Structure 1
Amino acid sequence: MVRRKNSSNSESIEGWNYEAKVIEIEGIIARIEAGELELEEVFDQFGKAVEYLRQCESFLQQRQQQVDLLIETLSDD
């Protein structure tokens, strides 16, 4: 089960998936680069991509903290 930290509060959201968000970001970028979107939609999609990137960054930071803690625990033994 993958959890992420919601940017608006500290509650975890079940079902969030890093790989799925990366695919969504790539899709948004591809549509923007292909010129498939109206200008207003470009801004909306860009905003979504930025939020997804923040979520991914938060997820990776949390996992890095977990790894660091595990390494520290192993080093203490």
Structure 2
Amino acid sequence: MVKRKGASSSEEGWNYEAKVAEIEGIITRIEAGELELEAVFEQFASAVEYLRQCESFLQQRQQQVDLLIETLSEE
């Protein structure tokens, strides 16, 4: 698995739904006990980074929605 530290939602090829699916896959593998302890920590760290990326993406989209609503209210 390739870690992409600092990846932002604006990077080409980044996809919210794909990241959520990756997070769900990591959770499934951890809960199933399929991983060695070191791999659990690595996967957990990856999941946390993906969650940060998703949160940033959602915050950006919320700001866009707020701006659009504000624009509509002014008309």
Give the structure-2-normalised TM-score: 0.88
Q: State the identity %.
A: 82
Cα–Cα, structure 1 residues 55 and 9, in superposed 2: closer, same or farther, change >3 Å?
closer
Contact kept, 8 Å, 2:7 with 2:53, in 1: the verdict is: no
Structure 2 partner of 1:20: 18
Deviation at 1:57, TM superposition (A): 0.3
Unpaired runs of 5+ in structure 2? none
Q: Please give the secondary structure, in 1, of the residue aligned with 2:11.
A: strand
Deviation at 1:7, TM superposition (A): 6.8
Aligned residues: 72
Q: Which has the higher strand share?
A: 1
Deviation at 1:8, TM superposition (A): 3.7
Contact kept, 8 Å, 1:28 with 1:45, in 2: the verdict is: yes
* Paired AA for residue 51 in structure 2: L
Which of residues 31, 49, 52 is equivalent to 1:51? 49
Higher relative contact order (CA 8 A, sep 6+): 2
Contact kept, 8 Å, 1:28 with 1:46, in 2: the verdict is: yes
